[in-house]
Chain A
């Protein structure tokens, strides 16, 4: 994907790309740390239909929402030849039972046989997390296992 980076002197940087439908989507990163999601108008590609200010948390969450499913889809496709194995994204709820605790604390593998292969956080993917990986609310665990195992894992993350 061709991301266009345009300096905005005195303000910051605009990074955007054109979608297949001709709309521009991107981000304006202001020098003072503010981030705006921008979406161009349908009838005037020069102008923005929306420019939505995002906090760091909101931007990270949006990035997870967009990025994690893609990762899961990719892994699912790779596991297609292995019957009985699927991939799922499991959220860590803010102020849930594992917010602020380590991956090891979930004892996921022992209790369900499910492997956590990656953690998506703020749009970044942390692959192969170790048991001492500290989880925070908003993280998405990318987990591989049997369907029953994954269901059990989701329950553990929800109720502890």
Chain B
């Protein structure tokens, strides 16, 4: 068999298996991300059926996957929403950073991965999966709940932090000096500010530039613009993903809606490839040694996210049950934790163990998150009853 034939067969098999896994995930009400990672682990080096002929395609496809993930994230928000979200949730957002980045950084330092590893793991444990959270809120019929805006504005804050964090991380991973790092941060801050201002004042023109009534033309223009901006951003050391995110924010209104409809299936396809490639590059044998730490991180960061949500909801005058729901909703980690770990692994600046830990952690959290959101109400109610029976005899005395 020639190389092309073999590549096509392997690629077809991978997509087909991913489709089956995605269906399974939908049936049991979970995010497909952990299953994609598992799929990648099976097909990768050291897995059950190593596939080696599709590296060229999957490498580029996974890059496009990250660009599309961030582009669609940007399309979800308008610049005005970002500003109001920022104003409303910055205190909760800061608490979120401190509580949830610290455990990851601490574990990385304990394992001797140095400051770079600490920075990577801090990002991995910090960022909730807005994809999983939004889907779970919709599935559970909680869009009308009072605590939901609190949860969503924390997500907005996190996504904005990503726009700052990713370029810094890219600079650090590139091993630039302190001065060079500061320069990168300065450039990215400047670029982000300029783009936000452009999006706020001239979003119409950006939208008009990519808009077209013809689906085919529109698709090519949007995708072309995204890859161009991502490439230029990458060349400027600002990280391709952030470029795409900012372009997404600049596109607004009906253009953004149409672009979302058009690009969603493409994103799902390429993002799936991205998760698989991440799994492919992780040797399953490297997971058991770090599994203990992954469990520790999962337990600790579940508690810290619940704490963040509880605190943020209490500040908005939400009742106890709503505070518990807000906390549990934020628990899920997913795509961005893998994006961060993926960036670090590709740059070769961290040990392979970090990829293994990140994989195991996201596997746990992507399952734990939706589960926590579902079981939080019965658990909170049981706890309330328990404390009620405890205080009742005391009152009798």
Please list the residues of chain A having a beta carbon within 8 angstroms of any beta carbon in chain B. 6-12, 14, 16, 24, 26, 28, 30-32, 36, 38, 40, 44-48, 50-51
Contact = CB atoms under 8 A, between A and B. Distances in A.
13 contacts: A9-B77, A10-B76, A12-B143, A14-B148, A24-B144, A26-B144, A30-B143, A40-B144, A46-B319, A47-B145, A47-B321, A47-B325, A48-B142
A76 B48 CA distance: 78
A32 B146 CA distance: 21
Interface string B137-155: 0100111111111001101
A7 B322 contact: no
A32 B77 contact: no
Interface in B320-352: 321-322, 325
Interface of B: 76-77, 81-82, 84-85, 130, 134, 138, 141-149, 152-153, 155-156, 257, 318-319, 321-322, 325
A46 to B, nearest CB: 3
B152 A8 contact: yes
Nearest to A48: B144
A9 B156 contact: yes
Contact of B144 (A9, A10, A31, A51): A51
**Interface residues of chain B: helix, strand, loop or mixed (majority):** helix
Contact of B77 (A6, A10, A30): A10
Given A6-B149, A14-B143, A16-B144, 19 more contacts: A7-B84, A7-B149, A8-B152, A9-B152, A10-B76, A10-B81, A11-B134, A11-B138, A28-B143, A28-B144, A38-B143, A44-B322, A45-B146, A46-B146, A47-B145, A48-B141, A48-B144, A50-B141, A51-B144
Contacts of A24: 144, 146
B275 to A, nearest CB: 22
A8 B148 contact: yes
A62 B147 CA distance: 27
Contacts of A47: 142, 145-146, 321-322, 325
Among the interface residues A8, A16, A24, which one has the most CB atoms of the partner chain B within 10 A? Answer: A8
B23 to A, nearest CB: 23
